[in-house]
Amino acid sequence: MIFLGIDIGSLSCDAVLIDEKKNILSSSVIPTGVNNMEAIARVKKNVLDASGIMEKDISSIISTGYGRTRVKERNGAVTEITCHAKGIKHMIPGTRILIDIGGQDSKAMRLDPDGNVVDFAMNDKCAAGTGRFLEAMARALEVDINELGQLDKGATSDLVLSSMCTVFAESEVVSLIAGGTGQKEIAKGLNRAIAARTNSLVKRVAQDISGLPVAMSGGVARNKGVVKAIARSMNIDKVHTPETPDITGALGAAIIALEKTLQKG
Amino acid sequence: MMYEHFDNIVKGITEKLNHDPDGINARKKYVLAISKLGKKLYSRDENIAWCGVTAPFDLLSAMGVTSCFVEFVGAMLSSTDTAGFFLEKAEDAGFATDSCAYHRAVMGAVLENAMPEPDFIIGTSSPCTAGLAIVENFAHQYKKDFFILNVPQNYTKDAVKYLATQLEEMTRFVSDHTKRPLSKQRLSFALENFNTSTSLLKEIYDLARTKPSPVDNKFLKDFGTVVALLMGTKQGIDICRAFKDELARRIKKGLHHASKEKIRLMWIQNRIQYPFPINEMLDDLGAKIVVDELNNVTWEPMDPDNPFESIAKRMISIPFSMGTAERIRQMQNLAKAYRIDGAINPCHWGCRQGTGARGLISKGLKDINVPVLNLEIDCVDSRNLAKGQIETRVEAFIEMLS
C-alpha cells in the first residue's frame, strides 16, 4: 500500500510518498507560488514520477498546511501542528519540544513521550520571526535566502535589532547597511532576534525544558545560523534537525494516512 | 439605521412566531425581546440610560428607565457586519486601533449620531476601566450627567456596604433626572422577577451540564450577559422559561447532538460577534461549547426588604468584578461541573479582562488538567481576522484534545 502526504504552505508545497512500512519512496519540495492548485498538481506529479508509482495505487492522501482544504483528492485534512509532531517522531524519535518555523507561522509544540502534542503555541498575527520574515531580510541584504544561514560566520558584535516587525526590520536593515554595518553582523543580529521570539514561544509551552530533547522542522531549520542562535537563546547544547526538515509536515501527513487506513482495517 | 434594523427583526420574528404559536422557540423569543429593547432605546419614548456591563438593570427598570450596556451596540454592529464604518470613524477621531473594538465601534456610532441620546449615564468600574472611559466620553459628547458605580474587588461586609450606599445615591441621581421617586413596590416586583429568572437560569445551566449536553454551539451564546438586561421583568422570566423548556424538550426527545460532543469545551468571556463560522467548524470537528464562563449564577436571591445590599452583593459576585484568583476559581468549578475537555480563551484584542489574565487563567485551568487555547482574536473588528490562522489554531487544539 502507498500513502501520500501533501503539505501546502504559504511559501512551499511539499509531498512525500511512503509505503506501509513508512519507508520514504519519494519526496518533493517546490515553491507554492500564486496558484496553489497548480502547485499541488505539480508536487504530486513530481513524487509519482520519481517513484514510478501510479496515482491509482495510492491508498490514502492526507493534506496539511494552510491550503490543506485545497487538495481535492484528499481522504482527510490534518493541521500542520499534528503532522509535524507525527513527522518528527519518525525522523527524530524522542523529541519532546518541537519548533517549526514555517512561511507565515512559527510554532512551538510540547510532545509527550509517545510523540503526541500536549500543548502548542503559535506566533501572533504578524510575520515576525517566520520564513517570510527571513525572505524579506535576505532581500534587504541582497543575498540568496539559502546563503543567509552561513552569513553570520565570523560575526563578533552583539548587534540588537530594535524592531521585529517585518516591515520595520527591513527598513532598519537597510539603514544599518547604509550606516556601514557588515552583512554578517546584521545576519547575526537577525538570527538572535528570531531566536528570542522562538524562545518566547517555547516558554509558553514549557517553562522548564531541561532534559527535554529539542528539534526543529520546517524549511528554516536548514538555516544553521538561526538553529544555532535558537540553541544559544534556549541555553542548550543542540537543537536537533532532520536531514530534510522541509518535508516533516508532509511525511507526518503520509504517516497519518497510513495509520488511519490501518485503523479502518 | 439601528431603529430600522431592530424593527425589521421584530417584524420578521413576530411573523414567524405567529405561524408557530405553540412552539417553544426559545432563541427566537430571546432575539425578539432583545430587538424590542433595541427599538425602545432608539425610539426614545422612555428615559434612557447608557450603562456599564454590571449596572443594576433591574433597579433601573423598576425606576422606569430603559437601560443597556454600551458594548451591546458594539456587538450588534459587529454581528450585522457594519462595525467597520464606525470603527474607522472612531479611529479618524484619534481612538487607537489596538483599543477594545466593542468600545471603539460604539464611540464611532456616537460620533456619527447613530446612538440614541441618553438622559444620563451610569458607568461601572467593573468589568473594565476602558468601558468606563468610553461612557465618560459619551457624557462629554452628549453633555449629560454621569454617575459612576465603583464596584469593589473584594466580597467583604464593608465592600458590600460601600456599594450599597452608592446604589442608594444612584437612585437619587436617577430620580433627579426622571422626576420620579423610586417606588418600593415596583422595586420589589422587579427583584421578585429577578429571583424567578435566577431560579430558571439555574435550571437551564443544570440541564446544559448533562452529558451529552442538550445545547448546541450557539444556543447559550453570550446568554448570561445579555439576559441580565431583562431579568427584572416578566419578559425576562418568559425568556428563561422558554430556554429551560427547550433544553428539557431536547433531553426528553434525545436531541443531544451527541455525535458532535466528542470534545466538551468551555468558552471564556464573550464570543466572536461578527459572522465567522467557528460554531460550524467546531460542529465538523465533533466539539461542542457546553458552557460559557459568563453563563453562571454567582449570586444569592435578592432580598426585597434589603434591596441595595442584595444588588451590591450580586454585582460584586460577578466574575469580572472580583480579582483574577476568584475568577479562576469560578472557572475551575465550571470546568469540573460541566466535565469539559478544554477551554478556548479568545483573548479579545485590547481587553484587559481577556488578555491581562490569560497566563494565570491558562495555568489555573491546566492545574486541573484542562488545556487552554489562547486565540488572540478581535471579537468585534473583523478587519483584523486572520481566518486561516484561527482555523489552524482551533483545529490543532481539537486534534490535540482528541
Percent of chain B whose predicted confidence (pLDDT) is above 90: 82
Q: Which residues share a beta bridge with A7?
A: A14, A64
pLDDT tens per residue across span A42-84: 999 999 999 999 999 999 999 999 999 999 999 999 999 999 9
Sign of the torsion angle spanned by Cα atoms B117, B74, B225, B166 = negative
pLDDT tens per residue across span A80-132: 999 999 999 999 999 999 999 987 788 999 999 999 999 999 987 666 678 88
Domains of chain A: 1-92+246-265 (3.30.420.40), 94-241 (3.30.420.40)
Determine the residue among B378, B393, B398, B401 to mutate to test chain A binding: the one whose Cβ has the most chain A Cβ atoms within 10 Å: B393
- Residue B392 Cα, gap to closest chain A Cα (Å): 6
Pick the CATH number of B2-184 from 3.40.50.970, 3.40.640.10, 3.40.50.11890, 1.10.357.10: 3.40.50.11890
Q: ipTM value of the model?
A: 0.86
Sign of the torsion angle spanned by Cα atoms B268, B273, B274, B277 = positive
* Greater pLDDT, A261 or B21: A261
Q: What angle do CA B246, B302, B67 make, to 5 degrees?
A: 75
Q: Are B281 and B330 in contact (CB under 8 A)?
A: no
Identity of the residue in A79, A105, A118 whose CB atom sits nearest the CB atom of B395: A79
SS3 A215: strand
Residues of B with CB under 8 A from a CB of A: 371, 376, 384, 386, 388-389, 392-393, 395-397, 399-400
Q: How confident is the model at residue B278 (pLDDT cuts 50, 70, 90)?
A: very high
pLDDT tens per residue across span B176-210: 999 999 999 999 999 999 999 999 999 999 999 99
> How many A/B residue pairs have CB atoms within 8 Å?
38
Q: Are A206 and A166 in contact (CB under 8 A)?
A: no
pLDDT tens per residue across span B303-317: 999 999 999 999 999
- Residue B62 Cα, gap to closest chain A Cα (Å): 46
In whole numbers, what is the pLDDT of chain B averaged over residues?
93
Instruction: Please name the residues in contact with B76: beta carbons below 8 A apart, sequence gap of 6 or more.
Output: B2, B5, B38
Identity of the residue in A66, A119, A125 whose CB atom sits nearest the CB atom of B392: A66
Q: Which residues share a beta bridge with B120?
A: B49
Task: Look up the pTM and report it.
Answer: 0.91
**pLDDT of A163 above 70:** no
pLDDT value at position A264? Answer: 86
Closest CA to B126 of B102, B95, B150: B150
Closest CA to A248 of A217, A210, A220, A225: A217
pLDDT tens per residue across span A179-221: 889 888 998 888 888 898 899 999 999 999 999 999 999 989 9
- Identify the residue whose cell numbers are 491509482: A56
Determine the residue among A100, A119, A200 to mutate to test chain B binding: the one whose Cβ has the most chain B Cβ atoms within 10 Å: A119
pLDDT value at position A125? Answer: 62
Distance (Å, whole) CA B201 – CA B227: 10
pLDDT tens per residue across span A123-156: 876 666 788 888 888 888 888 887 888 888 888 8
pLDDT value at position B5? Answer: 86
What are A176-184's contacts with CB under 8 Å, separation 24+?
A177/A140, A177/A141, A182/A155, A183/A141, A183/A143, A183/A151, A184/A151, A184/A152, A184/A153, A184/A154, A184/A155
**pLDDT of B258 above 60:** no
